[in-house]
Protein backbone atom coordinates (compact mmCIF):
# COMPACT_ATOMS: atom_id res chain seq x y z
CA UNK A 1 0.00 0.00 0.00
CA UNK A 2 1.02 3.58 -0.70
CA UNK A 3 0.22 6.61 1.43
CA UNK A 4 -0.72 9.71 -0.55
CA UNK A 5 -0.36 12.99 1.33
CA UNK A 6 -1.55 16.41 0.19
CA UNK A 7 -0.57 19.54 2.11
CA UNK A 8 -0.35 23.30 1.83
CA UNK A 9 1.38 26.22 3.49
CA UNK A 10 0.13 26.20 7.12
CA UNK A 11 0.43 29.99 7.22
CA UNK A 12 -2.36 30.13 4.63
CA UNK A 13 -4.08 26.72 4.66
CA UNK A 14 -6.15 26.21 1.53
CA UNK A 15 -6.49 22.47 0.90
CA UNK A 16 -9.89 21.94 -0.74
CA UNK A 17 -11.74 18.80 0.42
CA UNK A 18 -13.22 18.52 -3.07
CA UNK A 19 -9.70 18.31 -4.51
CA UNK A 20 -8.74 15.57 -2.07
CA UNK A 21 -11.89 13.57 -2.86
CA UNK A 22 -11.44 14.03 -6.60
CA UNK A 23 -7.90 12.68 -6.51
CA UNK A 24 -8.85 9.88 -4.13
CA UNK A 25 -11.64 8.78 -6.48
CA UNK A 26 -9.43 9.03 -9.58
CA UNK A 27 -6.78 6.82 -7.99
CA UNK A 28 -9.19 4.39 -6.30
CA UNK A 29 -7.99 5.39 -2.86
CA UNK A 30 -9.42 4.64 0.56
CA UNK A 31 -11.15 7.13 2.82
CA UNK A 32 -9.41 10.44 3.30
CA UNK A 33 -7.94 11.15 6.72
CA UNK A 34 -7.51 14.82 7.61
CA UNK A 35 -4.27 15.39 9.50
CA UNK A 36 -5.02 19.10 9.93
CA UNK A 37 -8.17 20.94 8.77
CA UNK A 38 -7.67 22.77 5.44
CA UNK A 39 -3.95 21.98 5.66
CA UNK A 40 -3.08 18.30 5.24
CA UNK A 41 -4.88 15.09 4.33
CA UNK A 42 -3.92 11.56 3.30
CA UNK A 43 -5.40 8.41 1.82
CA UNK A 44 -4.20 4.93 0.86
CA UNK A 45 -3.85 3.49 -2.64
CA UNK A 46 -2.89 -0.02 -3.73
CA UNK A 47 0.09 1.05 -5.85
CA UNK A 48 2.07 4.11 -6.83
CA UNK A 49 -0.01 6.10 -9.36
CA UNK A 50 1.42 6.01 -12.88
CA UNK A 51 0.60 9.69 -13.49
CA UNK A 52 1.95 10.87 -10.13
CA UNK A 53 4.31 13.51 -11.48
CA UNK A 54 1.80 14.93 -13.94
CA UNK A 55 -0.66 15.39 -11.09
CA UNK A 56 2.11 16.73 -8.86
CA UNK A 57 2.87 19.40 -11.46
CA UNK A 58 -0.80 20.41 -11.70
CA UNK A 59 -1.11 20.66 -7.92
CA UNK A 60 2.01 22.80 -7.68
CA UNK A 61 0.10 25.42 -9.63
CA UNK A 62 -2.53 25.35 -6.88
CA UNK A 63 -0.02 25.72 -4.04
CA UNK A 64 -0.38 22.09 -2.99
CA UNK A 65 2.42 19.60 -2.29
CA UNK A 66 1.83 15.94 -3.13
CA UNK A 67 3.79 12.98 -1.76
CA UNK A 68 3.22 9.29 -2.48
CA UNK A 69 5.34 6.72 -0.64
CA UNK A 70 5.10 3.16 0.69
CA UNK A 71 2.92 3.21 3.79
CA UNK A 72 4.91 0.60 5.67
CA UNK A 73 7.81 2.01 7.64
CA UNK A 74 7.17 5.69 6.88
CA UNK A 75 7.42 6.69 10.55
CA UNK A 76 11.14 7.05 10.96
CA UNK A 77 13.50 6.38 13.85
CA UNK A 78 15.99 9.11 13.01
CA UNK A 79 15.97 12.68 11.69
CA UNK A 80 19.08 13.81 9.80
CA UNK A 81 18.79 17.49 8.97
CA UNK A 82 20.76 20.17 7.18
CA UNK A 83 20.82 23.52 8.99
CA UNK A 84 21.14 26.51 6.65
CA UNK A 85 17.93 27.28 4.72
CA UNK A 86 16.48 24.08 6.25
CA UNK A 87 16.25 24.20 10.04
CA UNK A 88 16.92 27.95 9.94
CA UNK A 89 15.76 30.46 7.34
CA UNK A 90 19.19 31.92 6.58
CA UNK A 91 22.64 30.91 5.34
CA UNK A 92 24.90 31.69 8.31
CA UNK A 93 27.96 32.38 6.21
CA UNK A 94 26.00 34.92 4.15
CA UNK A 95 24.88 36.71 7.30
CA UNK A 96 28.44 36.87 8.63
CA UNK A 97 29.65 38.13 5.27
CA UNK A 98 27.00 40.82 5.21
CA UNK A 99 28.27 42.14 8.54
CA UNK A 100 31.84 41.96 7.20
CA UNK A 101 30.90 44.05 4.17
CA UNK A 102 31.45 41.27 1.61
CA UNK A 103 27.87 40.02 1.53
CA UNK A 104 27.16 40.27 -2.19
CA UNK A 105 30.30 38.38 -3.20
CA UNK A 106 29.76 35.61 -0.64
CA UNK A 107 26.05 35.22 -1.44
CA UNK A 108 26.92 34.73 -5.09
CA UNK A 109 29.41 31.98 -4.23
CA UNK A 110 26.94 30.35 -1.79
CA UNK A 111 24.17 30.25 -4.39
CA UNK A 112 26.44 28.69 -7.00
CA UNK A 113 27.77 26.11 -4.53
CA UNK A 114 24.26 25.12 -3.41
CA UNK A 115 23.23 24.74 -7.04
CA UNK A 116 26.12 22.35 -7.56
CA UNK A 117 27.98 24.73 -9.89
CA UNK A 118 31.07 24.98 -7.66
CA UNK A 119 33.14 22.54 -5.64
CA UNK A 120 31.80 22.82 -2.08
CA UNK A 121 35.15 22.70 -0.29
CA UNK A 122 36.75 25.26 -2.58
CA UNK A 123 33.73 27.56 -2.32
CA UNK A 124 33.73 27.33 1.48
CA UNK A 125 37.45 28.05 1.70
CA UNK A 126 37.09 31.10 -0.55
CA UNK A 127 34.14 32.50 1.39
CA UNK A 128 35.76 32.04 4.78
CA UNK A 129 38.91 33.74 3.48
CA UNK A 130 36.91 36.85 2.67
CA UNK A 131 35.98 37.22 6.35
CA UNK A 132 39.50 37.26 7.73
CA UNK A 133 39.80 39.72 10.61
CA UNK A 134 36.10 39.73 11.53
CA UNK A 135 35.82 39.86 15.37
CA UNK A 136 34.68 36.53 16.84
CA UNK A 137 32.04 38.33 18.92
CA UNK A 138 30.14 39.07 15.71
CA UNK A 139 29.03 35.42 15.64
CA UNK A 140 26.95 35.90 18.79
CA UNK A 141 25.45 39.09 17.35
CA UNK A 142 24.47 37.32 14.12
CA UNK A 143 22.90 34.44 16.07
CA UNK A 144 20.89 36.82 18.22
CA UNK A 145 19.84 39.33 15.58
CA UNK A 146 19.78 37.62 12.19
CA UNK A 147 19.08 33.89 12.61
CA UNK A 148 15.47 32.68 12.73
CA UNK A 149 14.15 29.12 12.93
CA UNK A 150 12.32 27.59 9.99
CA UNK A 151 8.58 27.31 10.80
CA UNK A 152 7.60 23.83 11.89
CA UNK A 153 11.13 22.91 12.94
CA UNK A 154 10.59 22.95 16.71
CA UNK A 155 7.50 20.75 16.34
CA UNK A 156 9.31 18.38 13.98
CA UNK A 157 12.21 17.71 16.34
CA UNK A 158 10.04 17.60 19.47
CA UNK A 159 7.51 15.20 17.96
CA UNK A 160 10.01 12.79 16.47
CA UNK A 161 12.04 12.68 19.68
CA UNK A 162 8.87 12.23 21.76
CA UNK A 163 8.18 9.17 19.62
CA UNK A 164 11.63 7.69 20.21
CA UNK A 165 13.54 9.03 17.20
CA UNK A 166 17.12 10.32 17.29
CA UNK A 167 17.83 13.78 15.84
CA UNK A 168 21.13 14.83 14.27
CA UNK A 169 21.97 18.21 12.74
CA UNK A 170 24.65 17.97 10.04
CA UNK A 171 25.89 21.09 8.30
CA UNK A 172 28.51 22.29 5.88
CA UNK A 173 28.37 25.46 7.97
CA UNK A 174 29.99 26.06 11.33
CA UNK A 175 29.87 24.61 14.83
CA UNK A 176 29.60 28.13 16.22
CA UNK A 177 26.06 28.13 14.78
CA UNK A 178 25.04 24.46 14.84
CA UNK A 179 25.76 24.14 18.56
CA UNK A 180 23.33 26.95 19.34
CA UNK A 181 20.64 25.86 16.88
CA UNK A 182 20.88 22.21 17.94
CA UNK A 183 20.53 23.12 21.60
CA UNK A 184 17.57 25.39 20.97
CA UNK A 185 15.71 22.82 18.88
CA UNK A 186 16.62 19.79 20.99
CA UNK A 187 18.82 17.83 18.57
CA UNK A 188 20.76 14.94 20.09
CA UNK A 189 23.97 15.89 18.27
CA UNK A 190 25.40 18.24 15.68
CA UNK A 191 28.28 18.11 13.20
CA UNK A 192 29.75 21.01 11.21
CA UNK A 193 32.96 22.81 10.27
CA UNK A 194 35.08 24.84 12.69
CA UNK A 195 35.96 28.48 12.08
CA UNK A 196 39.56 29.09 13.18
CA UNK A 197 39.90 32.03 15.58
CA UNK A 198 43.19 33.77 16.40
CA UNK A 199 43.47 36.58 18.95
CA UNK A 200 39.71 37.10 19.05
CA UNK A 201 39.26 37.39 15.27
CA UNK A 202 38.46 35.01 12.42
CA UNK A 203 41.69 33.83 10.80
CA UNK A 204 40.07 33.39 7.41
CA UNK A 205 40.58 29.63 7.58
CA UNK A 206 38.45 26.62 8.47
CA UNK A 207 39.42 23.48 10.35
CA UNK A 208 40.40 20.43 8.31
CA UNK A 209 39.06 18.16 7.01
CA UNK A 210 36.17 20.21 5.63
CA UNK A 211 32.75 18.66 6.20
CA UNK A 212 30.88 18.63 2.91
CA UNK A 213 28.64 16.26 0.98
CA UNK A 214 30.52 13.08 1.95
CA UNK A 215 30.56 14.05 5.63
CA UNK A 216 26.76 14.04 5.64
CA UNK A 217 26.73 10.54 4.16
CA UNK A 218 29.33 9.51 6.75
CA UNK A 219 27.07 10.86 9.51
CA UNK A 220 24.19 8.79 8.15
CA UNK A 221 26.33 5.66 8.16
CA UNK A 222 28.00 6.31 11.52
CA UNK A 223 24.88 7.18 13.47
CA UNK A 224 22.67 4.42 12.08
CA UNK A 225 25.39 1.87 12.87
CA UNK A 226 25.75 3.24 16.38
CA UNK A 227 22.00 3.18 17.00
CA UNK A 228 21.56 -0.26 15.46
CA UNK A 229 19.04 0.93 12.90
CA UNK A 230 19.09 0.88 9.09
CA UNK A 231 19.33 3.70 6.57
CA UNK A 232 15.70 3.00 5.65
CA UNK A 233 14.80 4.13 9.20
CA UNK A 234 16.09 7.65 8.47
CA UNK A 235 14.26 10.76 7.34
CA UNK A 236 16.76 13.24 5.90
CA UNK A 237 16.01 16.83 4.88
CA UNK A 238 18.01 19.45 3.02
CA UNK A 239 17.95 21.96 0.19
CA UNK A 240 21.40 22.13 -1.43
CA UNK A 241 23.62 20.06 -3.70
CA UNK A 242 25.80 18.95 -0.79
CA UNK A 243 22.71 17.32 0.77
CA UNK A 244 22.02 15.02 -2.17
CA UNK A 245 24.20 12.18 -0.92
CA UNK A 246 22.32 11.80 2.35
CA UNK A 247 18.93 12.52 0.77
CA UNK A 248 19.35 9.68 -1.73
CA UNK A 249 20.64 7.22 0.88
CA UNK A 250 18.00 7.85 3.56
CA UNK A 251 14.77 5.89 3.66
CA UNK A 252 12.94 9.15 3.04
CA UNK A 253 14.92 12.05 1.59
CA UNK A 254 13.03 15.35 1.58
CA UNK A 255 13.98 18.24 -0.70
CA UNK A 256 12.65 21.22 1.27
CA UNK A 257 12.24 24.45 -0.72
CA UNK A 258 15.22 23.04 -2.56
CA UNK A 259 17.41 24.16 -5.43
CA UNK A 260 16.11 22.76 -8.77
CA UNK A 261 19.07 20.39 -9.18
CA UNK A 262 18.26 18.88 -5.78
CA UNK A 263 14.48 18.64 -6.18
CA UNK A 264 14.89 16.92 -9.55
CA UNK A 265 16.62 13.97 -7.89
CA UNK A 266 14.25 13.53 -4.93
CA UNK A 267 10.88 11.77 -4.83
CA UNK A 268 9.70 13.85 -1.86
CA UNK A 269 9.61 17.55 -2.62
CA UNK A 270 8.10 20.12 -0.25
CA UNK A 271 7.75 23.54 -1.86
CA UNK A 272 4.75 25.02 -0.04
CA UNK A 273 4.63 23.32 3.35
CA UNK A 274 7.06 24.09 6.16
CA UNK A 275 8.95 21.57 8.29
CA UNK A 276 5.68 20.30 9.78
CA UNK A 277 5.18 18.66 6.38
CA UNK A 278 7.80 16.11 7.45
CA UNK A 279 5.46 15.02 10.23
CA UNK A 280 2.40 14.90 7.98
CA UNK A 281 4.14 12.64 5.47
CA UNK A 282 4.92 10.25 8.34
CA UNK A 283 1.21 10.13 9.17
CA UNK A 284 1.24 12.37 12.25
CA UNK A 285 -1.86 14.52 12.70
CA UNK A 286 -1.33 18.05 14.00
CA UNK A 287 -3.15 16.98 17.18
CA UNK A 288 -0.28 14.52 17.77
CA UNK A 289 2.48 17.12 17.50
CA UNK A 290 4.57 17.45 20.66
CA UNK A 291 4.91 20.86 22.26
CA UNK A 292 8.44 22.23 21.77
CA UNK A 293 10.43 23.50 24.73
CA UNK A 294 11.01 26.91 23.16
Identify whether residues 60 and 87 lie together within a single domain. no
Q: Stretch 41-50: mean pLDDT, rounded? A: 97
Query: pLDDT per residue over 154-166, tens digit each?
Result: 999 999 999 999 9
Predicted pLDDT at 294: 82
Identify whether residues 229 and 292 lie together within a single domain. yes
65-70: strand order across its sheet: 33-36, 40-45, 2-7, 65-70
* Residue 54 falls inside a structural domain: yes
Predicted pLDDT at 180: 97
Residue closest to 256 by CA, chosen among 2, 3, 7: 7
68 or 124, which is more confident: 68
Q: Is the pLDDT of residue 71 over 90?
A: yes
Q: Is the pLDDT of residue 9 over 90?
A: yes
* Residue 116 falls inside a structural domain: no
Predicted pLDDT at 220: 98
Q: Tell the burial category of 210 from Cβ atoms under 10 Å away from its Cβ (0-12, 13-18, 19+).
A: middle
* Residue 127 falls inside a structural domain: no
* Residue 97 falls inside a structural domain: no
Write out the residue range of the structural domain in which residue 198 sits.
74-92+135-294
Percentages helix, strand, coil for the chain (3-state, rounded to 5) are: 40, 20, 35
Task: Please state, rounded to an integer, the average pLDDT across all residues of the chain.
Answer: 95
Read off the pLDDT band of 112 (50, 70, 90). Answer: confident
Q: What are the residue numbers of the active site?
A: 82, 84
Identify whether residues 160 and 281 lie together within a single domain. yes
Query: pLDDT per residue over 51-62, tens digit each?
Result: 999 999 999 999
pTM: 0.95
Q: Is the pLDDT of residue 255 over 90?
A: yes
Amino acid sequence: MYAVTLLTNPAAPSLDPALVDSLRNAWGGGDAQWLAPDEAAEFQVAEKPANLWDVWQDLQGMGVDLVAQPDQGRRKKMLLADMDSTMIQQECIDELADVAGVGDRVKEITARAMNGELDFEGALTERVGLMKGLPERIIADVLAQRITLMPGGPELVATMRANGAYAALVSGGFTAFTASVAQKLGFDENRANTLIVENGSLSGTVGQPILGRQAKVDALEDITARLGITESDVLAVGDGANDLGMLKRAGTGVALHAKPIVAAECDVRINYGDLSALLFIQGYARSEFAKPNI
